[in-house]
Chains A and B, each alone.
Chain A
């Protein structure tokens, strides 16, 4: 059983958009992995004209919000690095107590990487002026353009998720739990420099079957 990895499209977002974007993406992925009895709940984003679907599980919402808070803290601590959230689905193998370790073995069969590039300047107004004819409110126009572009990108990310979940179905293990999210999962946060970013991803891909040490 291989581990399917999906690298979602990188999004350039503002600090105040982190929560909504992450909620949208994470809930969309988990909704496609909650194969049991669910009560779908439509959530409208406040910053974008996008509606996503939640499982309707209160515990799931709480866990996701906690992780988002951790991500925000990480972003504040490492502002000059690319931040990434990894949503991993694993399968618990039989507990085999060996003399090396007594930990439970996890077999990751799917990993989702959400790549966010949080802008440092919350206003998002570029300091460049390309023409002498200054618009009355150039900041508002740039913000609206950026917002529209981000909405399109987010919509593309959602389409990407739908496409991936439809294309990759064979690697999904049997359903252990019909309540809520059917499969055990974990959300990890990492921030790495541009040079080491690819290495971390490669390490995770090679570490299939071992728990990620990044959290």
Chain B
């Protein structure tokens, strides 16, 4: 209420201002809360009506202002009639009575503070009316009418008058009354009361909301109303990874079928593990998620195994890598090149029986050519010399050629390590031959001319020192690997007949061996072909000496026996 627009007319004037404002305001409040503004000019029309009413009450402030809220609905009998005129039923659902009761008697003159209190109290009263209007049942009808507007089957009307027809008894029984505490003033008191229909269910206000709803053209929809929509969205979301790996599904099944089924069951069977990505609520989505995750993990395995990377399978079975190592071959047969196959076997295998070996080495000296190399004979000679008992003369005579041939063949095909091998075999053969005789010199003199005659061995015990010195010098110049092998053979050789002469020769030979060992151990130097030839010569010389010694010994024995 605005009291500033009114000219100051004393306390009485102010009270009238308050009264007028109060009436106007209450009328506005009630109409605004009950009569919806359906028409654009309705609000202004209401104001105009209220102004007219207020002007009327300005003349008679003592008469109450009765505001009826009327619910207009179509009569139920109107549908059965053929009349074009609609019959409406009007029902007063609320009646507001705003009244000023003046007091004619004034005990004391009004004061300034009085109208302030009156103003304050009237404001509070208006607040209460305002709140009460929202708590009464008719407010619901007002809200429905306001929201539905033209499509509602009932209407709300109002009537403002200073008199009203009384309610019938039935209406009074169905209605309640609430009276606000009046505002006491010296000039009178303001009172507001309301008679309202408590139960509006008879009017079926909810049924009146039978109008068609507005069609929302851009309706998107919600998951609650369209569960399949949500499902399709989820499926599309998950179908992306499935599409991404869809090409592996078929291949996956094929590979999985080939795998040893130790890890997981094949597709089509329910998964045995729960996917950590599962978050859907529907079982279908859960199953889809599980399957896709299973496919993903399996795809990872397949890709890793196809790339021959370390398997990612959690299975302890080592079959996947082994399989795929072989499976790759099955899938992509690749002929593994073997460059070694193209090589000549002669470079690989120390086959001594290859007759072509001797061609790789330079030809021997002419002295050596007397004995035609025959690998076959040499090998047989080696075997015969080992197995047969010692018949030194025959054997030596028979084997001399073979030995030379063997040596030549051996030397022709030998490189340094293989020479050692060949030498060891030759040394072994000679050890067998000369077990009974004095073996002062382990080295056989070869037919090849030795570079130094002093290097030729001497089987005589008296010449053993000279021979040893010669041999030692030879070993110095030639190689120690053969010497070492010969020493080894001599030590591991089976025991010979225990003759004094043999014993002496063996002792001397041991001494010589020791000397040779000491000499040989000092000279482990790389060998050359020239060194090998020199060694061959020394072997021949040693052989001749041994043979001469053995012939002399045998001759002496034969004389004794006789």
Contact = CB atoms under 8 A, between A and B. Distances in A.
A166 B135 contact: no
Contact of A175 (B120, B143, B181, B183): B120
Interface stretch (B82-90, B122-130, B331-339): B122-130
Given A166-B125, A172-B120, A174-B116, A53 B130 contact: yes
A50 B183 CA distance: 27
Interface of B: 116, 120-121, 123-125, 127-128, 130-132, 134-135, 139-140, 143, 180-181, 183
Interface string A148-167: 00000001001101100111
A49 interface: yes
A32 B140 contact: no
Nearest to A166: B181
Cβ-closest 8 pairs across A and B: A166-B181, A51-B134, A32-B127, A35-B123, A162-B128, A169-B121, A166-B128, A166-B180
B131 A31 contact: yes
B130 A159 contact: no
Interface in A174-215: 174-175
A80 interface: no
A166 B124 contact: yes
A25 to B, nearest CB: 12
Interface string A58-83: 00000000000000000000000000
A50 B135 CA distance: 7
Contacts, number: 53
Given A31-B127, A53-B134, A174-B120, 4 more contacts: A32-B124, A32-B131, A166-B180, A172-B124
Given A35-B120, A175-B120, A155 B135 contact: yes
**What does DSSP make chain B's interface, helix, strand, loop or mixed?**
helix
B134 A165 contact: no
A74 to B, nearest CB: 28
Interface string A12-30: 0000000000000000100
Contacts of B140: 49
A50 B140 CA distance: 10
Nearest to A34: B127
Contacts of A42: 134
A26 to B, nearest CB: 13
Nearest to B129: A162
Find the residue from A34, A35, A52, A166 having the highest chain B CB count within 10 A. A166
A53 B180 contact: no
A31 B120 CA distance: 14
A40 interface: yes
A161 B134 CA distance: 14
Interface of A: 28, 31-32, 34-35, 40, 42, 49-53, 155, 158-159, 161-162, 165-167, 169, 172, 174-175
Contacts of B143: 51
Contacts of B132: 162
A32 B132 CA distance: 12
9 contacts: A34-B127, A35-B123, A52-B134, A159-B135, A162-B128, A162-B131, A162-B135, A167-B181, A175-B120
A150 B232 CA distance: 42
A85 to B, nearest CB: 19
Given A162-B131, A167-B181, A51 B124 contact: no
Contacts of B125: 166
Contacts of A162: 128, 131-132, 135
Contact of B131 (A35, A158, A167, A175): A158
Given A31-B127, A166-B181, A51 B139 contact: yes
Nearest to A36: B123
B123 A40 contact: no
B135 to A, nearest CB: 6
A113 B135 CA distance: 21
Contacts of A50: 135
Which residue of A32, A50, A155 has the most chain B CB atoms within 10 A of its CB atom? A32
A155 B140 CA distance: 14
B135 A32 contact: no
A89 to B, nearest CB: 13
B127 A165 contact: yes
Contacts of A175: 120
Contact of A35 (B124, B130, B139, B181): B124
Given A52-B131, A52-B134, A165 B120 contact: no
A28 B180 CA distance: 17
A165 B135 contact: no
B28 to A, nearest CB: 12
Contacts of B139: 51
Contacts of B123: 35
A165 B139 CA distance: 22
A165 B130 contact: no
A52 B139 CA distance: 12
Contacts of A165: 124, 127-128
A53 B128 CA distance: 10
A166 to B, nearest CB: 4
A65 to B, nearest CB: 21
A34 B131 CA distance: 13
Contacts of A34: 127
Contacts of A28: 131
Contacts of A155: 135
